[in-house]
């Protein structure tokens, strides 16, 4: 334990600072590492020939198979096999056939101080005999800033302004339709059911469009007082786009067994943010920072599901200044 | 001068003989760990070759077409041209699927190789003066490799890439103050983006990032050649020399063999082991999702960080200021890359106080506190990475997600400390015993570099007593 503490304090205090070290001494051996062995054993030369011939055969087979539109496995096996044989041939040539040599090469050492000084004098020569150096430098700075601004300005042409982010097509009275544009009927959904719905006539790919509709038993609901009327007959709708990172909340856990089991919840498969559908999609577990926006539902005369109003908050991943509800 | 002598022909015109001789006699120190960087380079070569082939067929468009082909479940489906052309590459272009899968495997290996190479460099202190600049170029390339991979698998417009892009959009939106504006600029409108978005991503993937990467690789190699390789201590090896195999003939043949071997493994994987079967995911729509979705491995630490973060946004007056994805998606990688970028200076301040130039490498044991620190950071990131697979852990081991969440949140803080202690003690033990971690004690032990061995034993003994 005391060792642990000592190491922690070492780390915290960066104690190495206090124990300055010196560069390690040069090793003091007098070994001469150079060597040169030439001459290849007969087996190595023969093996090299065999490997190269097999390699050529493999590549030829690949070419024929490709021309015949052969299947991927055969193509991979022939091309990969050819490359593997080539690798073996090259390594064999390098290790056993060509001369083996260990050489010593000197390393260029520290720069000569005079040379560095000469470089600095030459670079400084640009200002020889110039008296208004600061003024010129300042003017150059202004020119540079202008050039950077001019270069950066076209970036704003890339996309529209961020104001478009808060829009959603849901309004009071908009009919919920499925992927094939057929209206969603209240009686099509049993308790525990889970479907995806869209606002009729809107662009389905817009993040504000897709909602999940689930049905739970009305007596399970624990919605806040202001939302009591939003879930007729236990039918609930929430935005399908996760408020954490924008994936589709495409898992619905509806317990089929009774007390003690987890609450009915929607979950996102990307980072497993889990939302309790009975309690206005409150976050049960996971990284999401706010509930899924809820869509108030109503049932019209033809038993079709319609929106009772807009979504309760902004859809999907947030950004600086997004309204939370 | 006869036309049959190409060396003399070129030399006569370009005076190449002196630089050529320098190249042929350039010495490479021999150590297996120096092959990791080469593996990254050769994966990049495979990526460029296969990527060029793919670019001849791929059409990064968002206009809708009806796809027809031999895969029955999608025959007649309304899809974007991006997805349709990726399907064509998989089902119709001869060898197309081989190239697509090899390209994907090469992307995975590229980042594996860069990561292992980075670990080799930090554990052996190869980043020290005079190599700080080259280290920075390397870390920059790691960042670009992650971006390049993400851009690549996001292009196809299948369900998996769409889910990844939704997360990318959310992380981009979470940038304080500017998130909304930046995201709508990049995406050409609100998510899922305007018509310009996929073509833009395509140019980023096939031109901008690869061109920058190629330039940085050139710079990386040029700086290596300028400074020569580092080398481990050994007989005759000094700060002012390089001992090893000359470029020609031995090293060039072996290295080309390594290129062929890397390519062989990738092509065999591409042909025989299925990866990213986009036809199974189906086309992307914002309202569709898929359970068990996982990104490519090198983004696992980011999905882990996003999942691990407790559920809150920073809010004020009923408005969100900093949304949750900021912490896992931006802050965490910024901290990790901040550590990586500043490490040569951090190392100097915290562990060595050493401003001298070094060409001889250290072994991990030679600086136990540095080794402990690196291991702590690696374990810290690995913990987050492991939680990125939490749904898979649940399926495999039946450990409930909620329990894992709390377990990994605790490990996030505890694991690096434990890793530091264990790695440091391990390094100290090795330094004392002189044993090789894999081979045990051997006769030709190289003396620890900092001070004579008996002095160190003495000081350790003194510390134990004190």
Mutate which: B170, B176, B204, vs A, most A CBs within 10 A? B170
Q: Nearest CA to CA, how far is B419 from chain A (Å)?
A: 11
Candidate ranges A24-33, A48-57, A104-113, A215-224; pick with highest mean pLDDT? A48-57
pLDDT band at A12 (very low <50, low <70, confident <90, very high): low
| A272 with B390: Cβ contact below 8 A | yes
pLDDT band at A262 (very low <50, low <70, confident <90, very high): confident
Q: Nearest CA to CA, how far is A169 from chain B (Å)?
A: 14
Q: Answer yes or no: is pLDDT of B249 > 60.
A: yes
Lowest-confidence segment of A181-190, B12-21, B36-45 by average pLDDT: B12-21
Give the closest of B245, B320, B447 to A322, CB-based: B320
Mean pLDDT of A104-132: 86
Q: Answer yes or no: is pLDDT of A312 > 50.
A: yes
Q: Answer yes or no: is pLDDT of B3 > 80.
A: no
Residue B249 corresponds to which tokens in the numbers above?
């003939």
Q: Answer yes or no: is pLDDT of A30 > 90.
A: no
Q: Answer yes or no: is pLDDT of B15 > 60.
A: yes
Searching chain A, which residue's CA lies closest to the CA of residue B173?
A319
Beta bridge partners of A282: A276
Q: Nearest CA to CA, how far is B71 from chain A (Å)?
A: 15
The mean pLDDT of chain B is: 91
Coil, helix or strand at residue A235: strand
Q: Answer yes or no: is pLDDT of B459 > 50.
A: no
Mean pLDDT of A121-126: 89
Q: Answer yes or no: is pLDDT of A15 > 60.
A: no
Candidate ranges B101-115, B176-190, B287-301; pick with highest mean pLDDT? B101-115
CA distance A282 to B263: 51
Coil, helix or strand at residue A38: coil
Searching chain A, which residue's CA lies closest to the CA of residue B322?
A320
Mutate which: A32, A73, A289, A325, vs B, most B CBs within 10 A? A289
Give the closest of B257, B266, B320 to A91, CB-based: B257
Q: Answer yes or no: is pLDDT of A121 > 60.
A: yes
Mean pLDDT of B244-256: 93
Q: Answer yes or no: is pLDDT of A103 > 70.
A: yes
Which residues in chain A touch residue B188, judged by CB atoms under 8 angstroms apart? Answer: 158-160
Mean pLDDT of B6-19: 90
Quote the percentage of chain B above a pLDDT of 70: 93
Mean pLDDT of B299-315: 95
Q: Nearest CA to CA, how far is B390 from chain A (Å)?
A: 10
Mean pLDDT of B65-94: 95
Q: What pLDDT is recorded for position A83?
A: 97
Q: Which residues of B323-342 are buried (b: 16+ CB within 10 A; e: fewer)?
A: bbbbbbbbebbeebeebbee
B404 or A157, which is more confident: B404
pLDDT tens digits, B321-366: 999 999 999 999 999 999 999 999 999 999 998 989 999 999 999 9
Lowest-confidence segment of A18-22, A251-255, B264-268, B292-296 by average pLDDT: A18-22
Which residues in chain A touch residue B244, judged by CB atoms under 8 angstroms apart? Answer: 102-103
A154 or B27, which is more confident: B27
| A246 with B357: Cβ contact below 8 A | no
Q: Answer yes or no: is pLDDT of A257 > 70.
A: no
Q: What pLDDT is recorded for position A33?
A: 86
Which residues in chain B touch residue A84, judged by CB atoms under 8 angstroms apart? Answer: 260-261, 264-265, 268
| B324 with A247: Cβ contact below 8 A | no
Q: Answer yes or no: is pLDDT of A208 > 60.
A: yes
pLDDT band at B457 (very low <50, low <70, confident <90, very high): very low
Residue B130 at interface with chain A, using a CB cutoff of 8 Å: no
Mean pLDDT of A76-90: 97
Is residue A297 a contact partner of residue A231, using CB atoms and an 8 Å limit? yes
Q: Answer yes or no: is pLDDT of B463 > 70.
A: no
Interface of B with A in 343-402 (CB under 8 A): 349-354, 356-360, 369, 372-373, 390-391, 401-402
Q: What pLDDT is recorded for position B140?
A: 98
Q: Nearest CA to CA, how far is A303 from chain B (Å)?
A: 25
Rounded (5°) CA angle A230-A233-A237 = 45
Q: What pLDDT is recorded for position B455?
A: 42
Mean pLDDT of A261-289: 92
pLDDT band at B113 (very low <50, low <70, confident <90, very high): very high
Q: What pLDDT is recorded for position A297?
A: 96
pLDDT tens digits, B197-245: 999 999 999 999 999 999 999 999 999 999 999 999 988 898 989 999 9
Lowest-confidence segment of A39-53, B22-36, B104-118, B423-437 by average pLDDT: B423-437
Mean pLDDT of B147-151: 97
Give the closest of B27, B308, B315 to A324, CB-based: B315
Residue B95 at interface with chain A, using a CB cutoff of 8 Å: yes
State whether ipTM is beyond 0.90: no
A162 or A44, which is more confident: A44
Give the closest of B244, B293, B308 to A269, CB-based: B293
Which residues in chain B touch residue A248, judged by CB atoms under 8 angstroms apart? Answer: 163, 286-289
CA distance A25 to A23: 6
Rounded to whole angstroms, the maximal C-alpha distance in chain B is: 85
Rg of the Cα trace of chain A? 37
Q: Answer yes or no: is pLDDT of A11 > 70.
A: no
Domains of chain B: 27-282 (1.20.810.10)
| B254 with A94: Cβ contact below 8 A | yes
Which residues in chain A touch residue B246, judged by CB atoms under 8 angstroms apart? Answer: 101, 103
State the Cα torsion B319-B321-B324-B325 to the nearest 10°.
130
Mean pLDDT of A63-67: 94
A29 or A124, which is more confident: A124
A69 or B162, which is more confident: B162
Q: Answer yes or no: is pLDDT of B168 > 60.
A: yes
Which residues in chain B touch residue A98, judged by CB atoms under 8 angstroms apart? Answer: 249-250, 253
Q: Answer yes or no: is pLDDT of A20 > 50.
A: no
Q: What pLDDT is recorded for position B284?
A: 94
Residue B466 at interface with chain A, using a CB cutoff of 8 Å: no
Coil, helix or strand at residue A35: strand
B444 or A297, which is more confident: A297
CA A240 to chain centre: 21
Give the closest of B183, B250, B328 to A98, CB-based: B250
Q: What pLDDT is recorded for position A107?
A: 86
Lowest-confidence segment of A124-138, A186-200, B71-85 by average pLDDT: A124-138
| A75 with B98: Cβ contact below 8 A | yes
Is residue B244 a contact partner of residue B27, using CB atoms and an 8 Å limit? yes
Which residues in chain A touch residue B251, judged by CB atoms under 8 angstroms apart? Answer: 94
SS3 per-residue string spanning chain B: CCCCCHHHHHHHHHCCHHHHHHHHCCEECCCHHHHHHHHHHHHHHHHHHHHHHHHCCCCCCCCEEEECCCCHHHCCEEEEHHHHHHHHHHHCCCCHHHHHHHHHHHHHHHHHHHHHHHHHHHHCCCCCCCCHHHHHHHHHHHHHHHHHHHHHHHCCCEHHHHHHHHHHHHHHHCCCCCHHHHHHHHHCCCCCCCCCHHHHHHHHHHHHHHHHHHHHHHHHHHHHHHHCCCECCCCCCCCCEEEEEEHHHHHHHHHHHHHHHHHHHHHHHHHHCCCCCHHHHCECCCCCCCCCCCCCHHHHHHHHHHHHCCCCCEEECCEEEECCHHHHHHHHHHHHHHHHHHHHHHHHHHHHCCCCCCCECCCHHHCHHHHHHHHHHHHHHHHHHHHCCHHHHHHHHCCCHHHHHHHHHHHHHHHHHHHHHHHHHHHHHHHHHCCECCCECCCCCCCCCCCCHHHHHHHHHHHHHC
A262 or B307, which is more confident: B307
Q: How many angstroms separate the Cα of B394 from the Cα of each of A29, B305, B328, B401, B403? A: 57, 17, 21, 6, 10
Residue B153 at interface with chain A, using a CB cutoff of 8 Å: no
Beta bridge partners of A274: A267, A285
Residue B307 at interface with chain A, using a CB cutoff of 8 Å: yes
Give the closest of B263, B353, B420 to A17, CB-based: B353
pLDDT band at A171 (very low <50, low <70, confident <90, very high): very high
Q: What pLDDT is recorded for position A259?
A: 64
pLDDT band at B2 (very low <50, low <70, confident <90, very high): low
> Residue A234: CB partners within 8 Å, gap ≥ 6?
A191, A215, A216, A217, A218, A220, A221
Residue B10 at interface with chain A, using a CB cutoff of 8 Å: no
Which residues in chain A touch residue B312, judged by CB atoms under 8 angstroms apart? Answer: 289
Q: Answer yes or no: is pLDDT of B298 > 90.
A: yes
pLDDT tens digits, A210-245: 999 999 999 989 999 999 999 999 999 999 999 999
| A269 with B290: Cβ contact below 8 A | yes
- CB neighbours of residue A211 within 10 Å: 30
Which residue do the tokens 């150096």 mark? A133
């Amino acid at each position: 334990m005391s060792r642990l503490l000592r190491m922690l304090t070492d780390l915290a205090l960066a104690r190495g600072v206090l124990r300055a070290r010196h560069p390690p001494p040069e090793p003091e051996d007098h070994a001469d590492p150079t060597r040169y062995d030439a001459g290849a054993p007969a087996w190595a030369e023969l093996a090299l020939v065999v490997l190269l011939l097999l390699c050529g055969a493999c590549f030829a087979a690949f070419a024929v198979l490709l021309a015949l539109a052969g299947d991927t496995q055969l193509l991979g096996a022939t091309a990969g096999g050819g490359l593997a044989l080539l690798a073996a041939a090259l390594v064999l040539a390098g290790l056993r056939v060509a001369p083996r040599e260990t050489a010593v090469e000197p390393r260029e050492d520290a720069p000569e101080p005079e040379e560095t000084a000469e470089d600095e004098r030459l670079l400084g020569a640009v200002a020889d005999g110039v008296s208004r150096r600061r003024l010129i430098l300042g003017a150059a700075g202004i020119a540079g800033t202008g050039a950077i601004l001019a270069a950066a300005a076209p970036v704003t042409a890339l996309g529209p302004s961020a104001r478009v982010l808060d829009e959603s097509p849901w309004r009071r009275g908009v009919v919920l339709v499925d992927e094939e544009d057929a209206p969603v009927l209240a009686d099509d959904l049993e308790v525990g059911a889970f479907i995806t719905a869209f606002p009729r006539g809107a662009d389905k790919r817009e993040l504000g469009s897709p909602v999940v509709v689930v049905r739970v038993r009305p007596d399970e609901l624990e919605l806040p007082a202001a939302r009591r009327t939003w879930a007729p007959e236990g039918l609930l709708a929430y935005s399908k786009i996760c408020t954490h990172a924008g994936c589709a909340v495409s898992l619905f856990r509806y317990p089929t067994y009774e007390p003690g089991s987890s609450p009915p919840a929607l979950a996102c498969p990307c980072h497993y943010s889990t939302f309790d559908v009975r309690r206005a999609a409150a976050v049960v577990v996971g990284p999401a920072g706010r509930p899924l926006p809820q869509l108030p539902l109503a049932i019209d005369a033809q038993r079709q599901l319609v929106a009772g109003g807009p979504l309760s908050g902004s859809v999907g991943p947030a950004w600086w200044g997004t309204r939370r509800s | 001068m006869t036309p049959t002598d190409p060396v003399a022909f070129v030399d006569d015109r370009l005076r190449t003989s002196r630089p050529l001789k320098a190249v042929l006699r350039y010495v490479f120190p021999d150590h297996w760990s120096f092959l990791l960087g080469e593996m990254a380079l050769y994966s990049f070569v495979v990526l460029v070759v296969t990527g060029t082939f793919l670019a001849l067929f791929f059409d990064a468009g968002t206009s809708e077409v009806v796809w027809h082909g031999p895969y029955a479940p999608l025959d007649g489906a309304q899809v974007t041209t991006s997805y349709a052309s990726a399907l064509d590459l998989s089902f119709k272009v001869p060898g197309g699927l081989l190239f697509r899968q090899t390209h994907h495997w090469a992307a995975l290996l590229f980042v594996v190789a860069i990561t292992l190479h980075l670990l080799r460099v930090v554990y052996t202190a190869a980043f020290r003066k005079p190599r700080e600049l080259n280290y920075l170029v390397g870390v920059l390339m790691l960042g670009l490799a992650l971006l390049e991979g993400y851009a690549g698998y996001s292009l196809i417009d299948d369900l998996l890439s769409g889910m990844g892009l939704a997360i990318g959009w959310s992380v981009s939106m979470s940038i304080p103050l500017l998130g909304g504006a930046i995201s709508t600029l990049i995406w050409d409108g609100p998510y899922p983006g305007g018509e310009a978005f996929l073509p833009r991503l395509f140019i980023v993937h096939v031109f901008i990032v690869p061109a920058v990467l190629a330039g940085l690789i050139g710079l990386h190699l040029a700086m290596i050649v300028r400074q020569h390789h580092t080398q481990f201590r050994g007989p005759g090896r000094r700060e002012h020399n390089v001992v090893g195999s000359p470029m020609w003939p031995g090293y060039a043949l072996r290295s080309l063999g390594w290129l062929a071997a890397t390519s062989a493994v990738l092509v065999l994987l591409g042909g025989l082991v299925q990866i990213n079967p986009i036809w199974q995911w189906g086309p992307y729509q914002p309202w569709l999702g898929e359970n068990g979705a996982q990104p490519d491995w090198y983004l696992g630490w980011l999905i882990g960080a996003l999942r691990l973060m407790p559920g809150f946004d920073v809010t004020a007056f009923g408005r969100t200021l900093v949304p949750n994805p900021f912490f896992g998606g931006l802050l965490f990688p910024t901290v990790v890359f901040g550590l990586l970028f500043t490490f040569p200076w951090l190392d100097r301040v915290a562990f060595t106080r050493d401003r001298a130039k070094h060409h001889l490498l250290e072994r991990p044991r030679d600086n136990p506190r540095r080794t402990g620190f690196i291991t702590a950071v690696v374990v810290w990131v690995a913990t987050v990475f492991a939680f990125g697979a939490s749904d898979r852990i649940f399926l495999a081991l039946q450990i409930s997600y909620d329990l894992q969440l709390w377990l990994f949140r605790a490990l996030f803080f505890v694991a690096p400390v434990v890793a530091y202690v264990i790695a440091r003690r391990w390094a100290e033990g090795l330094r004392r015993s002189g044993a090789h971690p894999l081979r045990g004690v051997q006769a030709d032990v190289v003396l620890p570099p900092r001070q004579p061995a008996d002095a160190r034993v003495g000081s350790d003994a003194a510390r134990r007593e004190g």
